[in-house]
Amino acid sequence: MTEPFMLDLHTYLERLGYSSAPPPTLDALRELQERHTAEFPFETLASMLRVPVEVEPAAIQDKLLRQRRGGYCFELNRLYLLLLQALGFDARGLTGRVVMGGPEDALPARTHMLVLVTIAGVRYITDVGFGGMVPTGPLLLDSEAEQTTPHEPYRLTLVDGTYTLRALVAGGWRAMYVFDLQKVADIDYVVGNWYVCTHPESPFLGQMIAARTGPGLRKTLNNGSFAIHRLGQASERVQLQGVDEVLRVLREEFGIQVPEHPERREIIERLIAGA
C-alpha cells in the first residue's frame, strides 16, 4: 500500500525565503511566483540522460527539495499547485499546448501544465514551469489587456473557448501556448509527461535545457549555449567549451546539482559539439 503524500511545507517555504506561511492573497501569489521561478530552475537533465521522469508528488518533492534539482512543467507546476492548495488558495491544474516557435493554429499534444487560481471570485493563471519564457507574475484570465510582470509584458486572448498566452518579445507579440479550462485528472499529467520524457519527437529528449529568472534578467542554457537576457539590453551569449564548464554553469548559475550517470560526460560532449 502506497504511503499518503505529505508536502514538506516547512522546507518548501524555507527554500522560497519564508519563515512563516503567507496568506492566500493576490500579493502573496505574485511574490510566490516570482520567488519560485528564481529559486527552482527549469531543467531537462533527466530527459537529456534518457532517464524516465517521475511525476508522483513524492518523487518531485525529493528531486526539488532534497536533490537540489529543478524540473519541467509537470514537476514544477505540480508541486507548486500542491503548495498553493496547502496555503489555502483555490487552485487547480490545467493543461495546454505549446505553440512557441511554430504556427499559432497548430494542435500539438497537451504537454504543458499550468495552474488556475481564483481569488475573491477573480480568476488568474499562474505558471512556474515554462522554461526561458515563464511568466514571473500571475495573469488575470478574463482580460485581453497587456499585463505587466517583473519581466516581459504578457496578454491573453480568448477565441472559441481557447486561450492564447502571448509575450512581448523584441517588439512583437509571440504566442507561447494555448489552453482551455477543462477539468484535468492526475492521469492527464502522467500521460503528458510520458510523451515529453520518452517520445522520440519530444523536444526535450536528449537535450540539455535550463532556465532561471533573477531580478531583471533571465538565464538560459540550450545545450552548449549559455545566455543572460537582461531587460531592455542585448543578450549576452557564450558558447561553453567543455563538460566541466557546463557542469560549473549548471551548478553556479542555475543552482543544479547535476545527477551522476555513466554516460553523462559523453552525452554533454556530444551536445556541445552539436551546438
For cell 561553453, name the residue: 240
Phi-psi region of 154 (alpha: psi -120 to 50; beta: other; left: phi over 0): beta
- 33 three-state secondary structure: helix
Active-site residue flag, 112? yes
CB atoms inside a 10 Å sphere around CB 40: 27
Catalytic residue check, 27: no
Q: Look up 197 and say whether it is catalytic.
A: no
Amino acid code (one letter) for 156: L
Among residues 127, 151, 197, 229, which one is catalytic? 127
Q: Where are the beta strands (DSSP E) in 38-170?
A: 42-43, 90-98, 112-119, 122-126, 139-140, 154-159, 162-169
Q: Which of 10, 62, 73, 160 is catalytic?
A: 73
10, 27, 112, 197: the catalytic one is: 112
On whether the CB atoms of residues 220 and 229 are closer than 8 A, the answer is yes
Positions marked active-site: 73, 112, 127
